[in-house]
Structure 1
Amino acid sequence: MTVASVSAPRSVPPLAARSRSIGGSPVRDILAVTARPEVINFAGGLPAPELFDRDGVAAAFRHVLEEAPAQALQYSTTEGEPALRERLAARTTARGLPTAADDLLVTTGSQQALSLLASALLDPGDTVLVEAPCYLAALQVFGLAGARILAVPGDADGPDPEALADLVLRERPKLLYTVPTFQNPTGRTLPAPRRAALASVAARHGLWIVEDDPYGELRYDGARVPWIAAHPDAHDRTVLLGSFSKVMAPGIRLGWLRAPAELRRACVVAKQAADLHTPTVNQLAAARYLAVEDLDAHVGRVASVYRERRDAMLAGLGAALPDGSQWNTPEGGMFLWARLPDAYDTTALLPQVVAQDVAYVPGAPFYAGDADRSTLRLCFVTQTPREIAEGLRRLERGLKG
């Protein structure tokens, strides 16, 4: 072979533009940096592992593997195991939203439900409206879909209905994404009148509402607020997402979506292309657990512990944060949101805080538009009250530099 006949190496084709433009999760990057056991980590969004019902979940898996191994280890339908959908439908109906099993699609975590909805609803360049701040992984999903993401101005009660109506008329968005109960990252809950007003705007102007509810059962104070999906104006235009991650175990990766028939069918097709179906054994084990265990009682026990941990964080936060800081008192969920005085940049401060063996998540990544760089998110559920108190002392030292 002559030298002239040897072709030069050719470069491989580039990654898709969306892969190059969307970064990874800053939260997961922080968790990797703070994985050392000595770090008191307020950055995670992880449920407390010592509160998992390990015996009940293990018994459910043993039962399905012993009693129905051929079914448990076999392919399943894309829509989800009928036994699980029946029990989920019953739970949803009991909470004020009449639901049949065929209204539901079981997903591999509610995060997959967001991806399926993006596939079914969004073309590149479509506009999506979100809260300010917004759940970070939702911003990633919509960004990967090529959507144009705009934040709806709001207040302590959530997105402002008049601002939403103006944006809908001006921008013609496909959907509004909201976590109305114990939101990630702020922990806030939209009151019933605000939910009704958002539903009314969607009905008047033709808008999908995606209502994500992974935290709603973790209530410590106050009365439950009905879903937006239960509002008469919104029943034909709201997708409700649910998950077992925060109330049973995130590792089984079980979520679901409730949607009008045409959109649900489109999501089924998208799921067939993504993973065919959610693991059968996990679905059957969850159905068995719901049949023989009292999930509500388990959630009540978890909520009682989380309430104590929230109160421990609230008790020490005033001393830990600089004078002039503000924070909320969430009625449930896993997160507390704080705003430091304007001079503070929580992203820039994070390295010196981590040097004190404590961590938080800066608020900036949660914003679709202009970020409030003085904000931060604290997760209070993973540490004991004693660990929380020590973590806040370290946070105080780190913020003082």
Structure 2
Amino acid sequence: MTPTLPGLSGALIPGQRVTLFPSRHQVPVESGEVSVMQYRFAGRMHCAPPSFLGKLFAVSSDPRIISFAGGLPSSAFIDVEGLADASRRVFEEEGREALQYSTTDGYLPLREFISRRYRHRLGLDIPASEIQVVNGSQQCLDLVAKIFLDRGDPVAMERPGYLGAIEAFSLYEPTFYDVAFGAEGPDIDEFSRVIREVRPKFFYGIPNSQNPSGQTYSAERRKAVAEVLEGSETVFYEDDAFGELFFDGRPRKPVKALAPDCCILSGSFSKVIAPGMRIGWICAPKEILAQFNCAKQAADLHSNFLCQKVLSRYLETCDLDDHVRRISAVYGQNCRLMCDLLDDLFSPGMYHTEPEGGMFLLATLPKGLDSMKVFEEGLKGGVAVLPGTPFYVSGGGDSTIRLNFSSMDGERIRVGMERLARVIRALV
């Protein structure tokens, strides 16, 4: 029997493709008085999968629960004093300009900083004219889908893949294809077959510290991916939100360095400066950027100009290399602690990935355990994990959970893992 996901009426073929056609009551309404008005929403809204992201933020705010479910960077590394000083200088010296409308492509000094950093870290020559500032890299997901996807168009991504991308792309009603993802990156034979036979509009991937697995493409796999892309009609959408956060401090060259005309590259200051500022960027060939700029102008005119100016001022005096080293060192310690606790506290049959960077790892539960059951029982036991199911666009992931190690200190990680171990032992 062909498997289906709850709330979906369309058939799902694991490992091949899926078109999302959720039931008409996909988005729940809060309890209370409901309007008698019958709202005629667009059909695309019925294609939005149930969002775990909102639930995760609610869980993370409960002080009784130690949450490994969210995706928050550590608040300890948000330089409040430095950002406040930069903000004061902006208001004192150019306040009226900072509070005016601005250009859609973004504040030029900030784009020039991003360009210099690519050259400094990666030897990559991306001029400021090929960089567009956005409201966090999450906005890139929506706008890239908007300019590339018509209903039913093929789009491909990793299996498992980032659930925020699945949610963003689903609103444009594409046909999804997924490619198995492992320790070295996407399965290259499967990747090649999908690119050659399906010809997706774009392939979305996270080569550095992938979300949810934490795994990183090897240098050989990046080269193989670039070779497959060359001569194809598929764009590689390279989400590099975690590229600064390698525990060994060694940067990895993006796929865009190997296939510049085939790649869109996005980045973000959320993981290394402050997520609340919502400042990210996209780098793309000029033909793509022109379409992207048009879509962004229609969406919001431009990203928050005040935040762009404040961030640009802050980066003038911030030693970003040192700042990133300190963040990565702590995240590396947290990750090693979590991996050690997974090995020591949990029953045989519990496996996990070994991240080289980033903020997450993916664990496979002992045989017979369901991740949703672990999630539900975990909340009762004072610990939250993220079930793997939402990361698998074609179904699956029932036995996996994503764990975040960036948002808390070692002691809370230890206590939380002890709670999780008790929950799992009770279920085995």
TM-score (norm 1): 0.94
Alpha-carbon distance, 1:38 to partner: 1.6
Measured against aligned partners, the alpha-carbon deviations of 1:365-395 in whole angstroms (never above 9, x if no partner) come to 1011131211010001111111111111100
Q: Distance in 1 between matches of 2:113 and 2:423?
A: 48
1:65-144 paired onto structure 2 within 5 Å? 65-94=91-120, 95-144=122-171
Question: What does residue 393 of structure 1 align with?
Answer: 418
Q: Which moved more, 1:138-147 or 1:311-320?
A: 311-320
Decide whether the 8 Å contact of 2:279 with 2:308 is kept in 1: yes
Q: Which aligned segments of 4 or more residues in structure 1 are displaced greater than 4 angstroms?
A: none
Question: What does residue 342 of structure 1 align with?
Answer: 367
- Quote the RMSD (CA, aligned, Å): 1.5
Alpha-carbon distance, 1:109 to partner: 0.4
Residue 241 of structure 1, aligned match among 266, 291, 310: 266
Alpha-carbon distance, 1:135 to partner: 0.6
Is 1:331 aligned to 2:356, yes or no? Answer: yes
Structure 2 residue matching 1:198: 3-state secondary structure: helix
Alpha-carbon distance, 1:71 to partner: 1.2
Question: What does residue 174 of structure 2 align with?
Answer: 147
Alpha-carbon distance, 1:156 to partner: 2.1
Question: What does residue 280 of structure 1 align with?
Answer: 305
Measured against aligned partners, the alpha-carbon deviations of 1:140-160 in whole angstroms (never above 9, x if no partner) come to 111111111111134321212
Alpha-carbon distance, 1:321 to partner: 2.8
Structure 2 residue matching 1:131: 3-state secondary structure: strand
Question: What does residue 256 of structure 1 align with?
Answer: 281
Q: Distance in 1 between matches of 2:56 and 2:125?
A: 41
Structure 2 residue matching 1:150: 3-state secondary structure: strand
Is 1:29 aligned to 2:55, yes or no? Answer: yes
Alpha-carbon distance, 1:301 to partner: 1.3
Q: Which amino acid aligns with 1:150?
A: Y
Alpha-carbon distance, 1:310 to partner: 1.4
Q: Distance in 1 between matches of 2:59 and 2:326?
A: 32
Question: What does residue 227 of structure 1 align with?
Answer: 254
Question: What does residue 353 of structure 1 align with?
Answer: 378
Measured against aligned partners, the alpha-carbon deviations of 1:336-376 in whole angstroms (never above 9, x if no partner) come to 11111331111122111111101110111101113121101
Q: Distance in 1 between matches of 2:418 and 2:107?
A: 48
Is 1:173 aligned to 2:235, yes or no? Answer: no
Q: Which amino acid aligns with 1:253?
A: R
Q: Distance in 1 between matches of 2:322 and 2:166?
A: 34
Question: What does residue 207 of structure 1 align with?
Answer: 234
Structure 2 residue matching 1:153: 3-state secondary structure: strand
Alpha-carbon distance, 1:13 to partner: 4.3
Q: Distance in 2 between matches of 1:200 and 1:192?
A: 13
Q: Distance in 2 between matches of 1:15 and 1:316?
A: 48
Measured against aligned partners, the alpha-carbon deviations of 1:26-58 in whole angstroms (never above 9, x if no partner) come to 143133245320211111100111221111111
Question: What does residue 195 of structure 1 align with?
Answer: 222
Q: Distance in 1 between matches of 2:40 and 2:152?
A: 21
Identity %: 40
Is 1:52 aligned to 2:78, yes or no? Answer: yes
Question: Residues 24 and 64 of structure 1: is their aligned pair in 2 closer, same or farther, counting only changes over 3 Å?
Answer: farther
1:295-374 paired onto structure 2 within 5 Å? 295-374=320-399
Q: Distance in 1 between matches of 2:324 and 2:208?
A: 16
Q: Which amino acid aligns with 2:393?
A: A
Structure 2 residue matching 1:204: 3-state secondary structure: coil
Alpha-carbon distance, 1:254 to partner: 0.2
Decide whether the 8 Å contact of 2:143 with 2:295 is kept in 1: yes
Structure 1 residue matching 2:231: 3-state secondary structure: helix
Question: Residues 87 and 327 of structure 1: is their aligned pair in 2 closer, same or farther, counting only changes over 3 Å?
Answer: same
Q: Distance in 1 between matches of 2:414 and 2:317?
A: 38
Alpha-carbon distance, 1:313 to partner: 1.0
Question: Residues 70 and 11 of structure 1: is their aligned pair in 2 closer, same or farther, counting only changes over 3 Å?
Answer: closer
Q: Distance in 2 between matches of 1:139 and 1:264?
A: 22
Q: Which amino acid aligns with 1:159?
A: P
TM-score (norm 2): 0.88
